[in-house]
Structure 1
Amino acid sequence: MATDSNLDRTDRDIVRELQRNARVPMRDLAEIVGVAPSTCSERIRRLQSRGIITGFHAAVDLPNLGRAVQAMVFAQVRPLSRDLIATFRRDVLAMPETMAVFVLAGGDDFLVHVGVPDIQGLHSFLVDKLSSRREVVQFRSSIIYDHGEKRALEDLRSYD
């Protein structure tokens, strides 16, 4: 968790560029942001130690990985408690179909992003894995037809 996430312009530029392409060579990144490669490298190390940069990831094509169908599954669990929330979150994240789990406030307790090979795979996930859990009292799913994603998020404080 970041303790001091105030970023100067150079740090913001480094974060933005790494979000766009985490494989950019250090020399090129340093040139883009206008600092020496050693300075750039040190700033990245500090951004990591402060918890601002938490990792480097590869973008993948889900259908080519056998996940042609994606869905968002809203679930309610009972009896609601911290232990149940933590256990359910952990268990659902361990399922191979699960791509992300969000703990929510409001009518639903969880939003689960799943990726499966086909509609039958989604049905199996919902019936065999999710509804078979005794703590799940209700769920509903929505198939994702398409989605957009921002690759480079800006630091909103830089606009204050």
Structure 2
Amino acid sequence: MDSKDRQILRALQQDGRMANLELAERVSLSPSPCLRRLRNLEASGAIRGFHADVDRAAYGLPILAFVQIRLERHSDEIVRQFEARISTLAEVLECYMLTGGTDYFLKVVVSGLDAYEDFIRHRIHTIGGIGSIDTSFVYGTVKRSGVFPRID
């Protein structure tokens, strides 16, 4: 990937609905080479898809929580079971494996505090093998970006 490919990716992160002509102008390419590069980025997996950035509150999911989970043990069976179950939960938008004192970091959205309690009691606690759960609720956003920093 060269700097021109990164320019294309940054421009699309800023506006994924941009027409090829506008994209080509923004990155100083003619339309045909720009489209060829775009197709190559898609084929290589550098572009994994396009999506709408939807306001979660307007959708009906105003509660955003970050949940840190520590497992009781790290046996293959417990880890596999946990990861398989977490991957089926629609409320979990993202799940990361971490180093340090926390094993997993989840980004969770729900419609309210009652829905969060139900999620923890009936969806998370039933997984088994969990040693601790620590939740932080988001009450404001300072910065949110889907655009990578420049590296060239």
TM-score above 0.5, yes or no = yes
Deviation at 1:118, TM superposition (A): 0.4
The letter of the residue matching 1:106 is: G
Deviation at 1:115, TM superposition (A): 0.3
TM-score norm. by structure 2 comes to 0.90
Match of 1:34 among 1, 4, 28: 28
Map 1:40-79 to 2 at 5 A.
40-79=34-73
Match of 2:147 among 113, 136, 152: 152
Give me the whole-angstrom Cα distance separating, in 2, the residues matched to 1:149 and 1:90: 28
Percent identity between the two aligned chains: 26
Unpaired runs of 5+ residues, structure 1, are 1-5
The letter of the residue matching 2:87 is: L
Match of 1:123 among 92, 106, 117: 117
CA contact (8 A) 1:73 1:111 kept: yes
Structure 1 ranges of 4+ moved more than 6 A = none
Query: How many equivalent pairs are there?
Result: 151
Give me the whole-angstrom Cα distance separating, in 2, the residues matched to 1:93 and 1:101: 8
CA contact (8 A) 1:100 1:112 kept: yes
Q: Does the C-alpha gap of structure 1 residues 134 and 46 become closer, same or farther in structure 2, counting only changes over 3 Å?
A: same
The CA deviation string for residues 93-124 of structure 1, in whole angstroms up to 9 with x for no partner, is 21121111111111111111110000111111
Give me the whole-angstrom Cα distance separating, in 2, the residues matched to 1:112 and 1:38: 41
The letter of the residue matching 1:70 is: L
Match of 1:7 among 2, 18, 39: 2
- How big is the alpha-carbon RMSD for the aligned residues of Structure 1 and Structure 2? 1.6
CA contact (8 A) 2:68 2:105 kept: yes
Give me the whole-angstrom Cα distance separating, in 2, the residues matched to 1:23 and 1:108: 38
Unpaired runs of 5+ residues, structure 2, are none
CA contact (8 A) 1:12 1:154 kept: no
Give me the whole-angstrom Cα distance separating, in 2, the residues matched to 1:43 and 1:83: 43
TM-score norm. by structure 1 comes to 0.86
Q: Which residue of 1 aligns with 2:16?
A: 22
CA contact (8 A) 1:93 1:99 kept: no
Give me the whole-angstrom Cα distance separating, in 1, the residues matched to 2:33 and 2:76: 44
Q: Does the C-alpha gap of structure 1 residues 51 and 86 become closer, same or farther in structure 2, counting only changes over 3 Å?
A: farther
